[in-house]
A and B are shown apart, each in its own frame.
Chain A
Amino acid sequence: ETGVTQTPRHLVMGMTNKKSLKCEQHLGHNAMYWYKQSAKKPLELMFVYSLEERVENNSVPSRFSPECPNSSHLFLHLHTLQPEDSALYLCASSRQIETEAFFGQGTRLTVV
């Protein structure tokens, strides 16, 4: 048990669907992140939130829309995705931005 919980664990969606990924951390951390992990590619940082404010948007397409309503919750809203967006989406949190990251178990997303 990592203290960072992601739901759902698996998601299959069509290219015209709208879905959301949810992340919750119980560690009292101030920073939260979304990462994308594709086969044979390094972890790609997508978004960084510090104290509920977005501090980094790493050139992510607008079909991915993050939301951080409070320091414990992070969402990733998905719409009109492409098959190449299929990947493992990982949420992480840390005490501060440059400290160790604690990851959730990820959501395995398949776009059909």
Chain B
Amino acid sequence: TQLLEQSPQFLSIQEGENLTVYCNSSSVFSSLQWYRQEPGEGPVLLVTVVTGGEVKKLKRLTFQFGDARKDSSLHITAAQPGDTGLYLCAGARKTGANNLFFGTGTRLTVIP
């Protein structure tokens, strides 16, 4: 059973276009993180959102945590080839030993 589902799974767009990636769950998380992973490298943390409804901006990237803390979205404005990569969301829960649950991932390709 996959706790966090991301959509779309694959996305290929032209440079300059906007896009939104979704991360959905039926579970509540204490916080949610977004990572970007480039080929042959480990995931790199982009942002953590903690409060329901919270919005954080990182240059052209906008992250939102759902009001119920069950879902999140990542919006990229005017995508650049450097945005290409695998985007992973991860939800944190304070119960049990396995507290960080990773999503299925969205593989983004930005074509110059």
A and B: interacting chains: yes
Q: Which of B11-19, B56-64, B75-83, B98-106 contacts A (4 or more CB under 8 A)?
A: B98-106
Interface residues of A in 55-112 (CB under 8 A from B): 55-56, 58, 90, 92, 94, 97-106, 108
- Of the four ranges (under 10, 10 to 19, 20 to 34, 35 or more), the interface on chain B belongs to 20 to 34
| A101 and B44 form a contact (CB under 8 A) | no
Considering the chains assembled together, what is the distance between the CA atoms of A94 and B33 in angstroms?
A: 13
| B2 and A103 form a contact (CB under 8 A) | no
- Of the four ranges (under 10, 10 to 19, 20 to 34, 35 or more), the interface on chain A belongs to 20 to 34
Considering the chains assembled together, what is the distance between the CA atoms of A10 and B105 in angstroms?
A: 23
| 5 tightest A-B CB contacts, nearest first | A103-B42, A98-B99, A56-B97, A55-B97, A43-B102
Residues of A within 8 A of B (CB): 2, 4, 6, 42-43, 45, 48, 50, 55-56, 58, 90, 92, 94, 97-106, 108
